[in-house]
A and B are shown apart, each in its own frame.
Chain A
Amino acid sequence: MVKLVINGKEITTEKENTVLEVARAAGIDIPTLCSHESLPPYGSCRFCIVEVNQRGRTRMQTSCTLPVAEGMEIKTHSERVMKIRRILVELMLARCPESEVLRNMAREIGVPHCRFERVRGDKSLCHTCQACTLVEQMPMHAPAEVPSTFVGRSGCILCGMCVRLCDDVMKIGALGFEGRGMRRRVTTPFREPSEFCITCGACTSICPTGAIELLRVRPQEPLPIPSEFELGLANRKPIHLPFPQAVPRVPVIDPATCVNFMTGGCKVCEDNCQVQAIDHTQQDRIQEVDVGTVIVATGFKTFDPKRTPYYGYGVFPNVYTALEVERLVNASGPTGGEVTLRDGRAPKSIGIIHCVGSRDNKTNRWCSRVCCMYSLKLAHLLKEHTEAELYNFYIDMRTPGKSYDEFYGKLLEERVHFIRGRVGEVTDWAMTPEEEGKLVIRVEDTLAGFVRRIPVDMVVLSTGLEPQADAQEVRRLFNMSCGSEGFFLERHPKLAPVNTFTDGVFLAGACQGPRDIPDTVAQAGAAAAEAMVLIDKGYVEQEPNTAYILEQECSGCKSCIPLCPYTAIAFDEAKQKAVINEALCKGCGTCVASCPSGSIAQRLFEDDEVFSEIKGVLAYE
């Protein structure tokens, strides 16, 4: 506990703070130029100077570097202090008269104008080495002339925060000071483009005057980190909240781009977290959980429209997928709900193409079920958000469900144009003046009976649903099958839509087939109920025709184990014998037939039982 007096106010502080921190915490504002909470104190600008009376001695000290001590008496705005600050502002204004930061400070502390002149070089010191002419922005001068003294890049107030941030915090050290006295400036070693700079942009963000041009430090555009949730329409930082509705609603750190993982530095987020919730040393943990039932709800993947290059996705900038447009119309999206083209203009006409990657022999044969409805929804929203003409290009309009078809009808009234025909291509090759600068949709209008060219500003591709890319691997993990389309196979399409052929493994949602949200929710409830029945009952009712191992006979050759379609056979390493899990065995008999030593028998189908049946049948003769 340290007690001190600031401006007549008694303040107690527990931590080992500097006078500046304590004053600010007490609401006393001391101006600073070179101080920042993420940086260790430097004490170069001298603006935070205060009058310190301690043990009868008065001295002027910078509050950013001065640790508090018992019995200190501080005056932060005494006449002597203000005189110093005023002259310091004038001195700095002589160096950078255009600086907004300095002008504001001058206004605040009552400096009407700068009485000092811009610095001129001292002729007697010039030794005509011409070093000054090698710096960009410095005019070439004849050796006999007086060189104008370096004043740094225009706007740089030499606070040094960028240098300290890059060096001490980010631990890169791409920026540094060069030169002494008036020749001091911030630059890279030998003023050459830096190969160490990682274009993290920390320096530009901390610079109070915007004097740093990142391209001068490293002449390459920084690689943005595209936001996964915004589908690349916006960028994110290494530490980010995945999306506003994330559960738990907690930011995550991406180790691939976080500077701390690259250099061991930064950790500005950790320093600023008020509750110390950030720990960069966290590791992935692999946990093993023993369960009796599994519900597979691994979802779907959207169709990649690059597989249909004739629609121009990735080629023409204004071709979007429906999911991207979902983000555009969303108020919390990258454009705040403004639907604009890539160059910021408002679209005057929009074409929505159905069945991209669905009902297509060339890509996916199935109907993805949800696209017609969401295309209609998008058409409705786009009508609201823009003044554009809307065109929907469909094959059939599939609107099953409550009020779905009524919604379609509403859109017809909203003057959305519906053209029945599979779109052939999207092109930017204009054939008439109206098509100049637009994307032309070529489609056979089957109801009208001829091929049309419809120029639009923006094309939206209603992409279909596909199984996840790793569906095959996942299905093997759970000993499931996939249908011909790649979605997980249910035991019976009508009577057992949530069960798989493996007992205890259930399916829910779009991993089993394309479906919308209401259906998924219903199916999830069904799968959960089935699972709970198993758990609740505590036992499984089985058909008695399970197989079993004759232990003495089993030679441990393991040939039965991979053959069981229900992974019911395991290997006991201690006994070196096969073991059948009766709960899983379905009595298919494959293992019985395959065992080379005849060590597996099946109940109800044992040799003597089969012979008895044969005898019974023959007895009728």
Chain B
Amino acid sequence: MATRLTSCGELAAYRKTVAAKRDPNRTCVTVCGGTGCRACQGLDVAAAFRQAFQEHALEGKVDLRVTGCLGFCEHGPVVTLRPKGLIYVKVTAADAKEIVEKTLLKGEEMERLFIKDPQTKKRLRTREEIPFYKHQMPVIFGANFDLDPQSIDDYLYVGGYTALVKALTTMTPELVIDEVTKSGLRGRGGAGFPTGTKWASCRKVESNGKYIVCNADEGDPGAYANRSLMEGNPHSVLEGMIIASYAIGAHEGFIYVRAEYPLAVELLAKAIEDARALGLLGKNILGTGHSFDLEINRGGGAFVCGESTALMASIEGRAGEPRAKHIHMVERGLWDRPTVLNNVETWSNIPLIVNRGSQWFTAIGTGDVSKTPWGGSKGTKIFSLVGKVNNTGLVEVPMGATLRQIIYDIGGGIKGGKKFKGVQTGGPSGGILGVQHLDLPIDYDQLVEVGSMMGSGGMIVMDEDTCMVDFARYFLAFLEDESCGKCTPCREGVVQMRQLLEQIGAGKATMAHLDLLQDLAEVVRDASLCQLGVTAPNPVLTTLAYFREEYEAHIRNGKCPAGVCKALVSYLIDAEKCNGCTMCARNCPSGAIEGDKKQPHKIVLEKCSKCGICYEVCKFHAVARN
């Protein structure tokens, strides 16, 4: 580790020494060390590579790099080979040895480890060939391929902290803010407030101290883009925050990470330590006279602490409860001082904007931000594409990409060849959109117009086997647990909505209940104190709007079309189709199927738990679901 750098010139020199030690043409094996791949024993794969290198005396000749998340999470552990750019998926530790012997030493490409195109059945070798990667625009996320998140040298090598130098030495704080405003960057946390405008308001306020805060609470179930950014490229977040501190005139910052992300905390802490050691954080950064330092605050397990006022209350040591926002955070935030709070992804965008300029940014996305940043949605957005798609993972697309592009082109379509039914965008507070919205360009305003929201970028895809009533109930149950309980409509209303949905799912509701549900949802939306409550009814309102037939089927016909609501589902064996193979009886967990071999089987309804396993395993389609 080098000693503290005290000038930009020294940083430039240091960067040169780092570059001098690297050969861009040298073979490099990267193993994805994101949480998803770790869960699939990705680190064992890396260890196996290390061992294989040792055995074949390749140390010093081939690099091994454990990176952050590469986004292709359905198919991890993911290994890439440079400089060819080959991508091997679902690699095991045993495969590692083989890869070294075959691909590294002999140059043989291992077909079986390439991903197979589900339609053409062809094997796809590189990012340029794989549709999942081809259709993305990974200007932020792409850096994960080149970075060991624990190495600040890696970050410097790919041009990290050049934006910081540029800002500190060639731009005034006002110019920085101006550039960010002109770029049209809007908050990636979900509300989409123009970042530059926020910074400008904060800069104006006179105070004896200002704060920069990073919201890394990412509480939405199914969203993990922020986590992967922190785990893959923590320095990009830091760089963004340091630039902002210069622009606004703040000297202290906090990163509020949810406690459920221990790896992110660890990697951020290491990054902060390394940055401090090099002199990029702390007093008199690079001799420019600007000082800024950061601290990590861990959350306590509350979704509501993703809300800005609740987050700040939590940092201050109080209970995470929001307050009315007549006075904005930029005027009086943390400890009543001006505070800028931005999302992890927003911070990662800042170095790019400073380096490449606002014009580059405005060229990506929708709308026209020349007069006001509210006029469009610019830049890219990282989405966590999960649910019933073939390629679950993290995808980065320009604003304005359509749902169809994301789900089908990138996501590879619905798993098991089933039918697309709906997609939830924006986490539990987001709405559920249907088939009619597949060609909707994704941007802040369009999503709000149809009753959903961008949120943190969670995108949960559903197929014909998802019951919308049950889906809405599930998210309301989540929100019921996470509501802070301060205001009446959220605390009581969310629970009552959940109860109404349960009654509908149990077949005990009437059409009057549906009207009550609609009214209640509107009241909760209009009367709640913070966005948790305001957006909590979104699942209800959107499903009522776009999937009303499903509700009515539950109520009027007592049926659950997706076959999920157990009270309304019954399974029956068609004696004519059944050939007595006993597959269902053997798999039934409740022992509810009777029948002798080669004889038509029967389901004993009293014992049946409606799990649907018989339906799944019968190859003869003899089990009918009502």
Contacts and interface: CB of A to CB of B under 8 A. Distances in A.
B487 A84 contact: no
Interface string B466-496: 0000000000010011111111110111111
Interface string A15-51: 0000000000000000000000000010111110100
Contacts of B319: 177
A120 B520 CA distance: 18
B195 to A, nearest CB: 22
B586 interface: no
Given A91-B493, A94-B496, A180-B483, A60 B526 contact: yes
Interface of A: 41, 43-47, 49, 60, 62, 65-67, 80, 83-84, 87-88, 91-92, 94-95, 115-117, 119-120, 122, 124-125, 149, 158, 160, 177, 179-184
Nearest to B498: A122
A356 to B, nearest CB: 61
B326 interface: yes
A181 B480 contact: yes
A91 B480 contact: no
Contacts of A67: 326
B316 to A, nearest CB: 15
A94 B493 CA distance: 10
Contact of B499 (A47, A83, A117): A117
A181 B477 contact: no
B330 interface: no
Nearest to B519: A87
Given A84-B527, A88-B523, A43 B324 contact: yes
Contact of B477 (A116, A125, A184): A125
Contacts of A120: 499
A555 to B, nearest CB: 68
A83 B498 CA distance: 20
Interface string B510-551: 000000100110110011110000000000000000000000
Contacts of B529: 43-44, 46, 62
B514 to A, nearest CB: 13
Contacts of B418: none
A66 B480 CA distance: 27
B498 A84 contact: no
B315 to A, nearest CB: 18
A41 B324 CA distance: 10
Contacts of B302: 180
11 contacts: A66-B324, A67-B326, A88-B488, A94-B492, A116-B492, A117-B499, A158-B485, A158-B491, A160-B486, A181-B483, A184-B484
A116 B492 CA distance: 10
A181 B488 contact: no
B526 A80 contact: yes
B22 interface: no
Contacts of A122: 477, 480, 498
Looking at chain B's contact residues, the main secondary structure is helix
List 7 tightest A-B contacts by C-beta distance, closest first: A184-B485, A91-B492, A181-B483, A65-B324, A87-B523, A43-B324, A181-B485
B323 interface: yes
A160 to B, nearest CB: 8
Q: How large is the interface on B (under 10, 10 to 19, 20 to 34, 35 or more residues)?
A: 20 to 34
Nearest to A119: B495
A607 B312 CA distance: 96
B234 to A, nearest CB: 30
B158 to A, nearest CB: 43
A87 B522 CA distance: 10
A576 to B, nearest CB: 60
A39 to B, nearest CB: 14
A472 to B, nearest CB: 59
Nearest to A95: B492
Contacts of A84: 489, 523, 526-527
Contacts of B488: 44-47, 88, 91-92, 158
Contacts of A182: 480, 483, 485, 491-492, 495
B418 to A, nearest CB: 25
A179 B485 contact: yes
Given A91-B493, A119-B495, A119-B496, A83 B523 contact: yes
A46 B326 contact: no
B8 to A, nearest CB: 45
Nearest to B513: A115
A456 to B, nearest CB: 60
Contacts of A95: 492
A181 B321 CA distance: 11
A75 to B, nearest CB: 13
Given A88-B488, A91-B489, 12 more contacts: A41-B324, A44-B487, A80-B526, A83-B523, A84-B489, A84-B526, A87-B523, A91-B488, A92-B488, A180-B482, A180-B484, A182-B480
B254 to A, nearest CB: 23
A32 to B, nearest CB: 12
Contacts of A94: 492, 496
A44 B487 CA distance: 4
Contacts of B528: 46
Contacts of B326: 65-67
B485 A183 contact: yes
Nearest to B528: A46
A78 to B, nearest CB: 12
B301 to A, nearest CB: 10
Contacts of B483: 180-182
Nearest to A178: B319
Interface centre among B488, B495, B516, by most chain A C-beta atoms within 10 angstroms, is B488
